Structure 1
Amino acid sequence: MATDFQRQARRARLRLAGIGFVVLAAVAGGTITFISMGDSGGGSPSADSKNTPSPSFSVSSAPPPGTELTPATGRRISLLKPTTNTEGIGRGFEHSTMGAWSAAVSFWQDLNIIDDVVAEKQWKAIASKDSQSTIDRGVSEVRKVREGAGLPPSGGAPEGVGFSTHVRALNIRGLDTSGDVVQVWMVYDRFAVLRDKGGDQNPKKGETAYLILKWEGSDWRVTDEPQYKNKLTGPQPYHPDSKPAFQDGWREIANG
């Protein structure tokens, strides 16, 4: 006979599948905002797009003479591998444009979006020491998702339910002249994984999100400090066949 916990977990699994699996859709200054699969995504960011990368973090946007490149036809980015792992999230990337790109993708793909206990440990591992609010708001949003899915406010995912996140394209902007603070925009797909059904269910594709990363000590950290949030800008809308998107700095990931 099923216990109350088993029945509760079963109901939560069904609700997660029914709403299309609640997903991380955007980052606001290093914190997370959640929307359901029923919401539209992939639209143009509303922020101003006039800011340019700092000299240390510039991306060559002018296509070679005689060519009109797009993200799909331009050179793809081969990301770096993490050198360390904390609470299931890859870390330890070099102080460079490639390092920032790689850190952002590693964080975004590895963050747990349904287990608040794991999520809190992960946010603590990647948040700047100057940005405690990043951790607090991140954990709070995970708990809101759990409640919306009929789960207890704190705990793990129901048995047999998982998720996967896949970043496909990137854009980077510098937020200071040193190159130590950047915003990395990402286009990604997210899937709910119901293991008893096989494969990925209810995919959410073409979502756009960003992280503000700050070089702190010897690693990239997520921050939402006001002095950086106030400088946030939005890039051109991403499309693989868009020449303006390529010229604005969008690059696809190798094997992405």
Structure 2
Amino acid sequence: MAASYEGRARRARLRLAVLGAAVVAALAAGGAVAITMLDDDGGPARTDAKTSPSATVSASPAPSASMKWHTPGTAAPVKLVKPKHHMNGIGTGFDHNGPGIVSAAVSYWEDLNLVDDAIARQQWTAIAASSATIDEGVSDVRTTRERAGLPPSGGAPDGITFSTDVKAILVRSLDRTGDRVVVWMVYDRFATTEGKGGDDDPLRDETTNLILIWQDGDWKVTTDPALKAKVRGPRAYDPASKYAWADGWRRVTHG
């Protein structure tokens, strides 16, 4: 039976990257978060502090030839803030500003249940902007279960738990208000089997995204097709790349 659980865990790990239907990116430096704005036609991004949702969200100037070039590995990491509330097994209550955007995206992605569709529905109900997004999130979990050789509905296999660690983020606004943003994240994911120790083949340096909108006093996840159509992928994350830093990639810390 233990061997069966291990096989299921490995198959599940290989499918975990399919979870999540939105795209996210975050730009931060020196503890302040800047949001890169998109033109209304979805054209090239620009940085504009005035359109940020809060005065605490400040824009970083584009690096010039005279400026010191950092990398994500040398620049100060973005400090995440904790949720103010917990609802249905997931944190909620994030401020209407840059740190709130980044912290909401990371908290959601790290805490979403990956294999129990009943728990996933409760969580998505707390953080989704619409019933369609709730249904899509639960459907992703059920699809992952089936691909891992599990029944489409049910709890996690006995003794198997998953943990997610977001390492870097990049944020871009999808409109001029700063209230509709895409947050890109680079993360590692581990599976642990009770009595068998840690994961010998974790997912590493995976990239995913969430689209967040400010709704009902909190940041909500949306899968609105109109917003998804505006998402443009960033430069690949590399902690040693000055180009990744200039594009907006920043490390995060749960400080």
Is 1:134–1:222's contact at 8 Å kept on the other side of the alignment?
yes
Equivalent positions of 1:94-243 (< 5 A) are 94-128=95-129, 131-243=130-242
Q: What's the counterpart of residue 17 of structure 1?
A: 9
Q: Is 1:28–2:21 an aligned residue pair?
A: yes
1: distance between equivalents of 2:17 and 2:108?
12
- 2:44 aligns with 50
Q: Which amino acid aligns with 2:6?
A: L
- Percentage identity across aligned positions? 48
Q: Stretches of 4+ moved more than 4 A in 1? A: 63-66
Letter in 1 for 2:16: V
Please give the alpha-carbon distance, in whole angstroms, between the structure 2 residues aligned to 1:132 and 1:66: 47
Retained in 1: the 8 A contact 2:71–2:244? yes
Shift of 1:247: 0.7
Residues 165-201 of structure 1: per-residue CA shift (max 9 Å, x gap):
0000000000111111100000000011112111234
Q: Are residues 1:75 and 2:76 paired?
A: yes
Q: Which residue of 2 aligns with 1:42?
A: none
Q: Is the 8 A contact 1:61 1:247 kept in 2?
A: no
Deviation at 1:27, TM superposition (A): 3.3
Task: Extract unaligned runs of 5+ from structure 1.
Answer: 1-6, 31-47
* Structure 1 residues 61 and 114, CA gap change in structure 2 (3 angstroms): farther
Aligned partners of 1:27 and 1:211 also within 8 Å: yes
DSSP-derived class of the 1:52 partner: strand
Residue 62 in structure 1 maps to residue 54 in structure 2 = no
State the alpha-carbon separation in 2 of the partners of residues 225 and 59 from structure 1.
27
Q: CA deviation at 1:26?
A: 5.7
Aligned equivalents of 1:132, 1:203: Cα separation in 2 = 32
Structure 2: stretches of 5+ with no match in the other structure: 24-41
| Aligned residue pairs, count | 229
Superposed CA RMSD:
2.3
Q: TM-score, normalised by structure 1?
A: 0.82
Relative to the length of structure 2, the TM-score reads 0.82
Deviation at 1:52, TM superposition (A): 3.5
